[in-house]
Amino acid sequence: MNWRDYQSTQRVAEVGERFVSYADEGAGDPVVLIHGIPTWGYLWHRLIPALAKQGRVFAPDLVGFGYSDKSDCFDRSIARQAEMIDAWMEKVGIERADIVGHDIGGGVALRLATLFPHRVTKLCVMNTVCYDSWPFEVMLQLGHPETRRKVSAPAATTMLKQALKQGFATSPDDEILEGLLVPYSTEVGKLSLVRNAAALNTNLTMEITQLLPRLVAPTLILWGEDDVFQPIKYGGRLAWDTPQARLVRIEGARHFVMLDRPEEIAEHVSAFLERE
């Protein structure tokens, strides 16, 4: 599915003063997929069809990302994003769900599981930010306020395309890269991404460290072993600190495991989420 077709399937919900665009596929027990930075719900387009065979799959664009609200002047931290997901779940009638998160979406998922445990049935994180594993250098540069002025939207897109390629074990095709970055190709989109990058804050994963041993949801940690953005040592630490967690190493994969190995990842996630 190309990004245009994906976008045309997105639904929308108003959550307070913001709006959230989201994919909604399948029927049954809800699964919520949360993307990272600098992507959007399209990240999951290869995983959604497989998961939609066994449940109702939601993939919201975090606020400030993708085709959700990209207004300026609001908090985009993962703390606020977790609150927004909680409010969005309330709005669309999801009482609790299996939560799957990648990158900072994993950070949002970890905060949901520790701080809003009533929302989370099972938790799956992939190459997630955690502890002080983040933000990596490119994101720090992107989040500098002067980037807004010094870097044009086309230049930012070119820079990010180069950076994203390092997140793939296989050479991604242009359509995928274009699709992941297209919401940020305008000046407003770029500014929104700059604001999102400026909101990346290690403290928001450090502060939940003490809560991890008490995380009650069964947890699957998937990790592309060769990730250069989020080294696997953090996956090991996360699994060790979280008694309910199991770490699965994805050999030969990097950061974007769901795009590098869609079938393998779908199998792992499907098996984990399968109801007893």
Partner 1 sequence: MFGLGKPKPVTEREAEGEIERVYHEIKQVMRVTGINLNFRTWAGYENFFPAMWDAMRPNAETRRFEDAADRIRAEAVRATEHLGKLDAATSLRLGESQSYQIRRALDLYHYINPKLLVFTAAVSLALDGERTGSETESVELIERGAPAQMYPMEMVAEEPEDTRTQELFDDIKKTLSLSSINSDYRTLALWSDYLAAGWKRLKPITESEEYKQASEHLRLKARDLARTLPYSVPLSRERVEELGEDADEIIETTWKFERILSSLIHNIALFELDWRTPDTLEESPFPVAARRDMGIGQGGAR
Q: In the complex, which residues of this chain contact partner 1 (CB under 8 A)?
A: 7-12, 17, 19, 21-22, 67, 70-72, 148-149, 152-154, 186-189, 192
Nearer to partner 1, 83 or 98 (CB): 83
Q: How far is 53 from 27, CA to CA, in rounded Å?
A: 8
CB of 205 to partner 1, least distance (A): 29
| Least CB distance to partner 1 at residue 12 (A) | 4
The DSSP result for 243-275, as a single string, is TTEEEEEETT--S-HHHHSHHHHHHHHHHHH--
Minimal distance in Å, beta carbon 22 to partner 1? 8
Give the phi and the psi of residue 100 in degrees, each rounded to 5: -125, 125
Tell me the closest approach of the beta carbon of residue 216 to partner 1, in angstroms.
34
8 Å CB contact between 6 and 179: yes
C-alpha 233/C-alpha 239 separation (Å) is 10
CB 11 to partner 1: min, Å: 5
Distance between CA atoms of 231 and 223, rounded to whole angstroms? Answer: 9
Nearer to partner 1, 198 or 208 (CB): 198
CB 205 within 8 A of CB 242: no
**Of residues 60 and 135, the one with the C-beta less far from partner 1:** 60
Considering the complex, state which of residue 182 and residue 239 has its C-beta at the smaller distance from partner 1: 182
Q: In angstroms, rounded to a whole number, what is the distance separating the alpha carbons of residues 189 and 183?
A: 6
Three-class SS state of 157: helix
Nearer residue to partner 1 within complex by CB, 187 or 274: 187
